[in-house]
Amino acid sequence: MRAGHRGTGPGAITPDGCAVELYSRLPVGAEPEIIAGAVPTGAHILELGSGVGRMTHPLLERGFTVTAVDESAEMLEHVRGARTIRGPIEDLDLGETFDVVLLASFLVHNADLEVRRGMLRACARHVAEGGCVLIQREGGGYHGDLPRERTGRGDSGEFTVRIVSSEPVAEGVHSVHAEYEFPDATWTQTFRSRPLTREQFEEALREAGLRVDRYLTEDRTWVRAVPVTG
Ligand SMILES: C[S@@+](CC[C@H](N)C(=O)[O-])C[C@H]1O[C@@H](n2cnc3c(N)ncnc32)[C@H](O)[C@@H]1O
């Protein structure tokens, strides 16, 4: 388990506290649409932290080619129709480049600065000339106004996602506790997050040789970044 991360509930739990069965139940949201709107048709996408393929499968259906990376073999077992690579994102060095590198699910908020730097460098290392890196970051109010919950409906019925608490545990680092309730099962995840202001986020990109090309959504949670050239 990664330091400060924990998960409870049925089935396998990844080192960052995610439950494999939970992610195979959660429906995908607007992510594939946002991604498809920002990249060329038929692009080859390197998806970092793919999990069970919640986004991978809709992206494949839209005609993209996907290479899915995750450190959890149990997550990758559920991915169909994509090449899969198991390992830590921060160490990834495939010796090839992709039209698009995708770092979603707030992974850029990793609390460990070396891991975060490693992830962003991995993004920069794998993006082809003329390509882009798509990043999903937390919204401004992510750590405030808690508890906060939303309900949804998946194949296994209605569910509630509740962000219960977010407590500072070290300089610049919060411990977040989330609950996921389904009619027949409950999962929890406790994880560490390093909130980033827009300036801090853009500085983190710069350190890795990337810059913001444009923010893709009004809330600035989705970002299209490109390598700094020259
Ligand atoms: C919150 S889940 C999201 C999965 C998927 N992106 C989705 O939206 O359904 C995060 C995934 O990233 C993986 N992950 C987290 N940190 C990682 C790291 N440093 N290297 C490789 N995989 C990582 C976890 O194993 C997990 O499958």
CA of 28 to the centre of ligand 1 (A): 15
The label of the residue with tokens 């480049």 reads 97
Is the pTM of the predicted complex or chain greater than 0.95?
Answer: yes
The angle subtended at Cα 197 by Cα 113 and Cα 140, nearest 5°, is: 120
Sheet containing strand 6-8, strands side by side: 6-8, 185-193, 173-182, 157-170, 148-154
> Do 116 and 208 form a contact (C-beta atoms < 8 A)?
no
Supply the residue whose CA is at minimum distance from atom 14 of ligand 1: 49
Q: What is the pLDDT of residue 29?
A: 94
Q: What is the pLDDT of residue 140?
A: 87
SS3 assignment, position 205: helix
Q: What is the pLDDT of residue 202?
A: 98
Distance from chain centroid for Cα 208: 18
**Dist. CA 217–CA 171, nearest whole Å:** 29
Query: Residue 120's domain spans which residues?
Result: 22-139+196-227
Cβ-proximal residues to 87 (8 Å cutoff; 6+ apart), any chain: 69, 71
Please compute, for residue 46, the number of CA atoms within 13 A of its CA located in the half-sphere on the CB side: 24
Q: Is residue 147 part of a domain?
A: no
> Do 156 and 182 form a contact (C-beta atoms < 8 A)?
yes
**Low-confidence residues in the chain, pLDDT < 50:** none
- Domain CATH code at residue 30: 3.40.50.150
Q: What is the pLDDT of residue 170?
A: 95
The token pair that represents 201 in the structure block = 């986020």
Q: What is the pLDDT of residue 229?
A: 85
Supply the residue whose CA is at minimum distance from atom 13 of ligand 1: 49
Domain count, the chain: 1
Residues with CB under 6 A from ligand 1: 14, 16, 18, 23, 49-51, 54-55, 70-72, 75, 88-90, 104-105, 107, 115
Q: What is the pLDDT of residue 157?
A: 87
Mutate to test the pocket of ligand 1, among 70, 86, 142 (most ligand atoms within 8 A of CB): 70
**Dist. CA 50–CA 9, nearest whole Å:** 20
CA of 101 to the centre of ligand 1 (A): 14
Q: Is residue 61 part of a domain?
A: yes
